[in-house]
Structure 1
Amino acid sequence: MTEHSRIPVPAKDARQSKSLFERAEGMFGESNFSAAPVPRKLAEPVNRPVARTAAAPAPEAAPATAPVGPPSDLAPQAPLAAAPVASPASVATAPVAAAPNQLPRIDFSDAVHHVDRDQLEYHGLLNPDGPVTTLLEEFRIVKRKLLQTARASQDPLARRILVSSPLPNEGKTFCAINLALAMAAERDGEVVLVDADVAKPSILSLLGLPKGPGLMDALANPAIAVEDCVIATDIPGLFVLPAGNQTNADSEYLASARTPQVLARLTQGAPERLVIFDSPPALAASPAADLANHVGQALVVVRADKTGQSALEDALTLLSTCRDIKLLLNDASFSPSGRRFGDYYGYGG
């Protein structure tokens, strides 16, 4: 073992009486420590706004001449503040405020197409000309949550809503159409319902609208403007964008750099306009996950007593690039509170 008794120990009082710097000075033998010199005048800051100071009045300057004309022709003006005189260096480094980029509003075709109300009732969808029903009240609650998020968010993507489901036959198209019909009833908004289920498009047939070019055509062909493919309906505030012609590269087109540009044109210059995408089931086709990158809200439809937990978890994982995902329970026959909105208005069922 090491003999500790032979190790010299400095005096206790001496160590406690000296500071850390004093002990370092004694150890390294440096006795001329001094602070670095500080210049009296510091260099001017770079890339900062020039301080505004009042300019000294020029001696014996001639007074400005007022414009000739009757006083009624001149609008009242606020007094002008003296502008600072900047040196060439400060002019080069001073930041210049860029003018806001206000894009012009994009409107759709004036040709109005009739929505078949009989088709809506046949398929159990909302009839905008019909009475208040339980179904309408349910979707009023659903739309209110989505509208609240879209209006409160500063992110323009919040105005794009993806409607999907884990598996087929869970009612996602039924919910997408009814949600669009309910939102179109808002007094101060417009809705574009996009049939993004390219493999099995059905919105045009359910609404009784004519076929035509759509989303995939605008993505595949830069010469086609997406706004020219939008169909205006006779339901105030409701527009429909067809799926378009199917290709073998639908997922690749949706994942291309052109997709954000095409989708942005659907709401350009129209902050009151929302876009609802009826996408394929998340576990059945890849476009749902591709579209999740371009929306701010996602509504996942799950069917009561049918959708499994593992399927739902897998679907949520695929759609996780969307930061706001909500669940909608479809075809539920039991309500814990026992409420039935339609009965209050006299229209149960």
Structure 2
Amino acid sequence: MTEHSKIPLSGHDDAAHEAENQPQKQAPTGRTRGPGESLIERAAGRFDFNAIIARPGPLPVEPARKAPAPAAPPAAVPAAPTASGAPASVPPPFAAPLAAEQEPAPPLAAPPLAEPPFAAPIAFSDDHHPIDREHLREQGLIVPEGTVTALLEEFRIVKRQLLVQAADLRRQGAGAASQRILISSPHPGEGKTYCALNLALSIAAEKESEVLLVDADFAKPSILSALGLPGGPGLMDALMDETIDPAACVLGTDIPGLWIMPAGDATINDSEYLASSRTAEVLERLTENAPRRMVIFDSPPALAASPAAELAKYVGQTVVIVRADRTGQGALEDAISLLGACPNVQLLLNDAQFSPSGRRFGSYYGYKG
């Protein structure tokens, strides 16, 4: 018969086997072990695992971190001794905020630019030549300081329309050209010089304007003789010689606001000189810094000489004189075509014996009642 031996138990199983063969003992906890306890419970009671397992102690306290040592304050600058020998009081080093912590100062506003000084208008001659008023009356021209006549009222209406048009051109950016008016006609003998003189005399009476009458009829100048003024260098001399100041060629009169520029030396190349770049320089000089100065050109007839067409390129308005019962329609159309370089061409009827509107200025001002 085969002998059976028990398989030896290791560890806690041997302890448990021995515990089964011994009488029950009182557990260290005072609890009686019963027969239904598990091996682990009986082993725990025998070896008193509770005593072996260390009870948890308090959690280790992490040592407090040391704060970094404060930076050493900057060395205080010794205060300068006062008159008594004691050092003056110095504020604490950190009384004022550090420069890096201060807010940047706002940028200083730039001082306003100084306005440029007002430029005075170009000055003409200080010599004021007298104008014979009786000579003006004999020619049927407007007499300054005279009585109100039909002729005066008619040219008041004409000048007012031209001044209004000049103001409109200035607002539109026409520049100095808005201050220039060309007076011409298709043929000689239609009254262009007569109208140019009366228009200049009328504008000179304006309180805020002055007028420069330029004799641009180089072949047959007549402005000086009509006003009784002496001769001298004029427009053509300034065009031919660049060393001549155009302002030096202007003559003053004893009529306030009226200036005269002679035609100057006669030449067969007057149109060529007018077509050169020098013309723009001369004309700009005549109105330099003088926005209220009007310049009137008495040019030769458009169908008789070419300077009128050249001058039309530099003016803002052109007035074509049409003589009643003399100027033909074909001649008028040809003259307007030649003066087409000017954007504003207007007609003025001269020597008319009737008024379409029935106006009679002379009879109105001559009426007493």
TM-score with structure 1 setting the length: 0.71
Amino acid at match of 2:350: N
* Secondary structure of the structure 2 residue equivalent to 1:294: coil
Structure 1 residues 173 and 347, CA gap change in structure 2 (3 angstroms): farther
Pick the aligned partner of 1:60 from 94, 102, 107: 102
- Alignment partners' CA distance in 2, 1:226 and 1:309: 38
Alpha-carbon shift at residue 103 of structure 1 (Å): 6.5
Residue of structure 2 in register with 1:80 after alignment:
109
Pick the aligned partner of 2:341 from 276, 301, 321: 321
Residue of structure 1 in register with 2:209 after alignment:
189
Larger radius of gyration: 2
Residue of structure 1 in register with 2:67 after alignment:
none
Pick the aligned partner of 1:260 from 251, 274, 280: 280
Do the aligned residues in 1 keep the contact of 2:312 with 2:342 (CA within 8 Å)? Answer: yes
Pick the aligned partner of 2:326 from 297, 306, 309: 306
Alpha-carbon shift at residue 336 of structure 1 (Å): 2.0
Pick the aligned partner of 1:220 from 221, 225, 240: 240
Residue of structure 1 in register with 2:129 after alignment:
113
- Alignment partners' CA distance in 1, 2:168 and 2:118: 21
Alpha-carbon shift at residue 335 of structure 1 (Å): 1.1
Alpha-carbon shift at residue 61 of structure 1 (Å): 4.9
Amino acid at match of 1:325: V
* Secondary structure of the structure 2 residue equivalent to 1:110: coil
Identity %: 62
Alpha-carbon shift at residue 337 of structure 1 (Å): 2.2
Q: Does 1:130 align with 2:146?
A: yes
Structure 1 residues 61 and 271, CA gap change in structure 2 (3 angstroms): same
- Alignment partners' CA distance in 2, 1:127 and 1:188: 20
Residue of structure 2 in register with 1:95 after alignment:
none
Alpha-carbon shift at residue 60 of structure 1 (Å): 2.3
Do the aligned residues in 2 keep the contact of 1:150 with 1:158 (CA within 8 Å)? Answer: yes
Alpha-carbon shift at residue 59 of structure 1 (Å): 5.6
Amino acid at match of 1:108: F
Alpha-carbon shift at residue 301 of structure 1 (Å): 0.2
Q: Does 1:143 align with 2:185?
A: no
Q: Does 1:153 align with 2:169?
A: yes
Q: Please give the per-residue CA displacement for 1:107-151, whole angstroms capped at 9, x wherever unaligned.
A: 111111111112111111110121000000000000001000111
- Alignment partners' CA distance in 2, 1:100 and 1:324: 35
* Secondary structure of the structure 2 residue equivalent to 1:327: strand
Alpha-carbon shift at residue 223 of structure 1 (Å): 1.0
- Alignment partners' CA distance in 1, 2:117 and 2:336: 36
- Alignment partners' CA distance in 2, 1:186 and 1:332: 26
Q: Which runs of 5+ in 1 are unaligned?
A: 1-57, 66-78, 82-98
* Secondary structure of the structure 2 residue equivalent to 1:153: helix
- Alignment partners' CA distance in 1, 2:300 and 2:319: 13
Alpha-carbon shift at residue 63 of structure 1 (Å): 4.7
Number of aligned positions between the proteins: 261
Alpha-carbon shift at residue 344 of structure 1 (Å): 1.2
Do the aligned residues in 1 keep the contact of 2:169 with 2:316 (CA within 8 Å)? Answer: no
Structure 1 residues 347 and 200, CA gap change in structure 2 (3 angstroms): farther
- Alignment partners' CA distance in 2, 1:189 and 1:167: 31
Q: Please give the per-residue CA displacement for 1:275-312, whole angstroms capped at 9, x wherever unaligned.
A: 00000000000000010011010000000011000000
Structure 1 residues 60 and 259, CA gap change in structure 2 (3 angstroms): same
Amino acid at match of 1:130: G
Structure 1 residues 310 and 290, CA gap change in structure 2 (3 angstroms): same
Do the aligned residues in 1 keep the contact of 2:149 with 2:361 (CA within 8 Å)? Answer: yes
TM-score with structure 2 setting the length: 0.67
- Alignment partners' CA distance in 1, 2:357 and 2:225: 37
- Alignment partners' CA distance in 2, 1:102 and 1:309: 49
Which gives a bigger RCO, structure 1 or 2 (Cα 8 Å, sep 6+)?
1
Q: Please give the per-residue CA displacement for 1:123-182, whole angstroms capped at 9, x wherever unaligned.
A: 111101210000000000000010001112231211100000000000000000000000
Amino acid at match of 1:245: D
Segments of 4+ in structure 1 off by > 6 A? Answer: 99-103
- Alignment partners' CA distance in 2, 1:347 and 1:122: 24
Describe how 1:1-349 pairs up with structure 2 within 5 A: 60-61=102-103, 63=105, 80=109, 105-154=121-170, 155-156=174-175, 157-346=177-366
- Alignment partners' CA distance in 2, 1:347 and 1:224: 53
Q: Which runs of 5+ in 2 are unaligned?
A: 1-99
Amino acid at match of 1:120: L
Alpha-carbon shift at residue 102 of structure 1 (Å): 8.4
- Alignment partners' CA distance in 1, 2:322 and 2:272: 27
Residue of structure 2 in register with 1:39 after alignment:
none
